[in-house]
Structure formats: C-alpha cells, structure tokens
Amino acid sequence: MPHFLRDGDQIILANQPEFAIEVVLSGGTMTEKIIPPSPGHEKVQGLLSGIYYDVIFNQFIVNGHRVDPTYFSHTEHKVLQYLVSQPGRIRSYDDLAFHVWNGYVQNNTIAKTVGNIRRKLEAISPGASEYIQTIRGRGFRCKIG
C-alpha cells in the first residue's frame, strides 16, 4: 500500500547503501535510483553505466563516477539535467531554448553548449559522450545506458 507524503514530511534512511524513489505522474511513472556518496570514494559501487542525476546532492553520476557539482558550468548543468530528466525523449532546440535560456538563445549556442558537455563527459569516462545523441533535424536526447 503506497504512503503519500505531505508537505513537510521527511524520509530518513539509515545504513541503506542505496534506495529508489518512485514518482507517479499522470500518464506514467518515473523511478530515480539514488546512491548516497561514500566519504573518500569517487567511484559509486554497483551502479550501471550511464548518466544519472542525484537530486539530493545536486550532482551527476557518469558511469559510476560522481561528478563535482562545479565541473559543469551553470548552463551546461541545466542542459544536461534537462536531457537526463527525460531519457530517450528527443528534446528540440526550441525545448532547450525555452527550458534553459527562457527562449532567448541561438541554435549555435545550444549546439556549442552540448559540444562542451560531450567533451567534459568524455574526460570523465571514455565513451560517455555517446550518451548525448544528436537527432539530425530534431534535437538531442540522452541515452541512459
């Protein structure tokens, strides 16, 4: 039986190596796997390959490696977070312009930002740049694993 949280409710998990949060939205379900950081460990054990966003610690996990929240610029962070939040879904230039830049940006700026993200992903883990795919004439999508 599901328990519905109300504003102000807290979830406290002690000594749990990992946990999943399932959010039920009208029209579908989204499950987010959260793995708390281990002090002194850069590599997160037991996580499959891909890009994940840890909403609690405001950081990405790329192929099991936690990424410092300051590694990506503010704009790069917003673009990557938007793409990762809807894996497999194609996000058009207009979608990205609206959600990241409030509609005031040229397509070449978006393309340059995505290029910077890919370069940084590749530096974190070889091959990770392939998780951000360009769909010619349509936009971009994030492939999780």
The ranges assigned to domains in the chain are 19-142
Is 119 or 50 the better-scoring residue by pLDDT? 119
**pLDDT higher than threshold 60 for residue 78:** yes
> What is the chain's alpha carbon radius of gyration, rounded to the nearest angstrom?
16
Report d(CA 45, CA 6) in Å as an integer. 32
The pLDDT of 35-56, averaged and rounded, is 59
Contact 32, 23 (CB under 8 A): yes
b or e along 6-42 (b: 16 or more beta carbons within 10 Å of the residue's beta carbon)? Answer: eeeeeeeeeeeeeeeeeeeeeeeeeeeebbeeeeeee
Tell which CATH architecture fits domain 19-142: Orthogonal Bundle (1.10)
Q: How much is the pTM?
A: 0.68
Is 40 or 3 the better-scoring residue by pLDDT? 3
Residues 79-89 have a mean pLDDT of 92
Q: What pLDDT is stored for residue 50 in this prediction?
A: 86
> Between 118 and 13, where is the model more confident?
118
Element (H, E) at 121: helix 107-124
Residue 26 in this model has a pLDDT that exceeds 70? no
